[in-house]
Amino acid sequence: MVVKLEVINELDSLYNRAVELITEQLNNGANTFGLATGGTMLPLYEKIRQSDLDFSNCISVNLDEYVGIAQSHPESYRSFMNTQLFDAKPFKQSYLPNGEANNVQEEAQNYENLLKSLTLDFQLLGIGENGHIGFNEPGTAFTSETHVVKLTESTRKANARFFDSIDEVPKEAITMGIASILRAKCIVLIAVGEKKRAALEALVYGEVTEDIPVTCLQQHPNVIVLTDLDLSK
Ligand code: GLP
């Protein structure tokens, strides 16, 4: 087991630790950052916005984007990233998959080609209640690269809180694959709140299985997990 688990009960301290890890990366010369969306990342991005960190020489690549809503939609991941981070902390170049592309399969392939042309020094991850990472839903092959996915009802329900109704939650997305994510040199996963307990337990204690995508991280040499969950309880 190579996953390094850091249990930090107090959320402000947990997010300070995440900022510290990103700062260390920058100080060590990292310049390509894989970024994530989701409610879990809001306090982190808020702290980064308030920091003096400078990403103007860095590249960011996001994990995923919805298909079927405009990039200008307030809940697109492009809008999320602009509002939460990029408007305040611009990168030299910021990439997200284009969920508005006419041919989303081709867009997924192009995004994978882009990823392969870069070396991800760092990848930030959240976790879905069903153990998904990015939008890699249970059953996704660990060999998968960037692809178009049909979102599960569980994921659509979990994300419905950001939309006026569940009917408005997109049914598809483009996501980095498991193999694409595992190429990052260092991965930091943040799991906060009771809803994430089962997925986190699977990551820390479970068998490696494609049925719970996050367990793929057990096969990566440099993963740090920040959580407020005490798994002994
Ligand atoms: C979405 C994103 C994931 C994220 C997950 C958890 O499905 N594609 O990258 O980890 O939501 O989101 P939250 O942090 O809001 O619980």
Q: Which residues are catalytic?
A: 64, 130, 132, 137
Q: Which of 114, 223, 133 is nearest to 175 (CA)?
A: 133
Residue spans per domain, the chain: 4-227
Name the helix (H) or strand (E) containing 158: helix 153-159
Tell me, which fold does domain 4-227 have in CATH?
Rossmann fold (3.40.50)
Q: Would you call 195 helix, strand, or coil by DSSP?
A: helix
The string of pLDDT tens digits covering residues 54-69 is 999 999 999 999 999 9
Task: Identify whether the C-beta of residue 14 lies closer than 8 Å to the C-beta of residue 8.
Answer: yes
Phi-psi region of 38 (alpha: psi -120 to 50; beta: other; left: phi over 0): left
How many angstroms separate the alpha carbon of residue 128 from the centre of ligand 1? 5
What confidence score (pLDDT) does residue 219 get? 96
Q: Would you call 34 helix, strand, or coil by DSSP?
A: strand
Q: Which of 75, 59, 56 is nearest to 67 (CA)?
A: 75
Token pair for residue 74?
């307030």
What confidence score (pLDDT) does residue 87 get? 98
What confidence score (pLDDT) does residue 140 get? 97
The string of pLDDT tens digits covering residues 32-54 is 999 999 999 999 999 999 999 99
Q: Would you call 20 helix, strand, or coil by DSSP?
A: helix
How many angstroms separate the alpha carbon of residue 145 from the centre of ligand 1? 19
Q: Which stretches of the chain drop beneath a pLDDT of 50?
A: none
CA 138/CA 175 separation, integer angstroms: 13
* Cα 201–chain centre separation: 18
How many angstroms separate the alpha carbon of residue 159 from the centre of ligand 1? 8
What confidence score (pLDDT) does residue 1 get? 54
CA 96/CA 114 separation, integer angstroms: 11
Task: Using most ligand atoms within 8 A of CB, pick from 14, 35, 40, 171 the residue to mutate for ligand 1.
Answer: 40
What confidence score (pLDDT) does residue 2 get? 77
Bridge partners of 94, per DSSP, are: 60
